[in-house]
Structure 1
């Protein structure tokens, strides 16, 4: 059986790009209507040739989609007339003709396979991890590049399972102390509301609690770049060095940098060196209260007689508390600037 007369590939390509005028559209659709009436063309072929024809058609559809991805459209938004045009153009280029139903089935199968594959790769690329500290004490969270963040209760962080080759980006809210691993080829960025922090390798504390309407960044080591928009959406930027801090007021949109005030007590995240040798716990508590800006209470008064021997070198208060409680088989909670230690009395 003689197949229908072919149509210009240029016209088909124009039709697929939705660039045809009304007359050209009618011409293409009328041509395709003749294909739909030739339902006995494939049936007239031997079964082996039918299977071979179908396999070749499916292969070429996949090849066409892979070579020219910009023509791939969602299978769920594809209308039947458009599907018919795509199937017809591919059939013409191959020198074969297939029925309307077979074309739609093959095309939708390949498009759905491509769509699932694309979504899978996209999901893999942007897969993220979100962690919220629900504990009543600070918790250390390790990041994919071995950087870490000591997160206060209620703090939240979101980051990819794997950082990009050219940058490291995390979204953070609450209060946390970041210890960022140095990597000059991949700057580390933290987004907290409208505030963006850029570091190469340093340690600093972030207070980004939305309810307080003032975000604070305090640098312990290294250099930090802080930026935020003003009321006209112009970028404000400050560079912080050790013992400097920045404040961003969410209402006024002001970004201010200043020196950290000199104080005899350290913040809980600041490292310190302190040694205990068979020291009763009540004396340990007294020294820690003097060293840090914190109040410590013993839930079980008899814990006071427990003795502690430890050498803490350049450690933060949460780390010291973890080690103390491990040695005493006790637990601790922290609310704002109050720490409560709970456990059984020592024998």
Structure 2
């Protein structure tokens, strides 16, 4: 039988006025709600915590609590039915994500009641970096296997996406509609800027590097407390999934740049072997040819403020070749020049 708790105690919980003992009592009641245990046992702790937070947030919205209003009295059965119904919606949502290995997180949570919203899922199945355009003309240069999920049309008050993998975001400025990214355990908020997100599903470290503008990064620690850092250009946020610790630091300049940073470089009748040597000196990658004959091809090109993926695309177009990316290794494939 589900234990009963006084409505006044639930109200204190919703207003964050409980002692630790009272909080434990409310959460024990919450976990005893019908149908929850079997479902939650299948989920990681982070998802269980998110369901709990979303559920009680929704209860608070439905009760429309305001601290300055006089205390109201509610039927225990009525409060339990609200919690159970909200839990069912959250449960269906998270079961869908676990089954399909695609965490739509806030996007689906906010739009789950709106059946008319169409979500778009794009996975980069190519072996090279692909630039994907978003509805507001923002773009993301996605590494192989990166996935982005977003509504076909952004809301009037915000632009929200879910992203996993690695990608470089170039966000259009729109002060009236902040751009929100759910990426693994991180929440990223921007107005208009460019930055790189590295949040592979299988990795233990998530990373955000800012190139222009400013970015707000937040994540929950082990006890669910909020952590937040504000990043400016040449700054980096790191989130370790084991300790759930979020830190920020200045990016130390390196002789070899990350591939998303733009550079200016000029080639004039330069053999590809020399082109590759220069690119390897500029960027933190290793480049090779599938056919040694490509090394003798000559190119003339002027690249002004281009990241490595743009340079490679244009070089490959000139040579009628292609490239593939695996970690920090790039392979250029094509026919040798005559």
TM-score, scaled to structure 2: 0.66
User: Equivalent residue for 2:304?
Assistant: 313
The CA distance in 1 between the partners of 2:232 and 2:114, in whole Å, is 39
Which of these residues, 107, 123, 131, is aligned with residue 115 of structure 2? 123
User: Equivalent residue for 1:278?
Assistant: 269
The CA distance in 2 between the partners of 1:168 and 1:277, in whole Å, is 43
User: Equivalent residue for 2:132?
Assistant: 141
The CA distance in 1 between the partners of 2:294 and 2:150, in whole Å, is 40
Instruction: State the Cα distance separating 1:193 from its structure 2 match.
Output: 2.2
The CA distance in 1 between the partners of 2:290 and 2:185, in whole Å, is 41
TM-score, scaled to structure 1: 0.64
The CA distance in 2 between the partners of 1:212 and 1:259, in whole Å, is 22
Which of these residues, 166, 169, 172, is aligned with residue 175 of structure 1? 166
Would you tell me which structure has more helix in proportion to its own residues? 1
User: Equivalent residue for 1:212?
Assistant: 203
What is the DSSP-based 3-state SS (H/G/I as helix, E as strand, rest coil) of the residue aligned with 1:212?
coil
User: Equivalent residue for 2:94?
Assistant: none
Deviation beyond 3 Å, 4+ runs, structure 1: none
Instruction: State the Cα distance separating 1:127 from its structure 2 match.
Output: 0.6
User: Equivalent residue for 1:20?
Assistant: none
Q: Map residues 1-347 of structure 1 onto 2, 5 A cutoff.
A: 122-124=114-116, 126-347=117-338
Give per-residue Cα distances to partners, 1:113-153, cap 9 Å, x unaligned: xxxxxxxx9433x2110011111111110000000001111
How many residue pairs get aligned? The number is 226
Identify unmatched segments of 5+ residues in structure 1: 1-120
Instruction: State the Cα distance separating 1:192 from its structure 2 match.
Output: 1.0
The CA distance in 1 between the partners of 2:236 and 2:143, in whole Å, is 19
What is the DSSP-based 3-state SS (H/G/I as helix, E as strand, rest coil) of the residue aligned with 1:149?
strand
Identify unmatched segments of 5+ residues in structure 2: 1-112
The CA distance in 2 between the partners of 1:338 and 1:193, in whole Å, is 25
Larger Rg: 1
Q: CA RMSD in A?
A: 1.1
The CA distance in 1 between the partners of 2:226 and 2:114, in whole Å, is 31
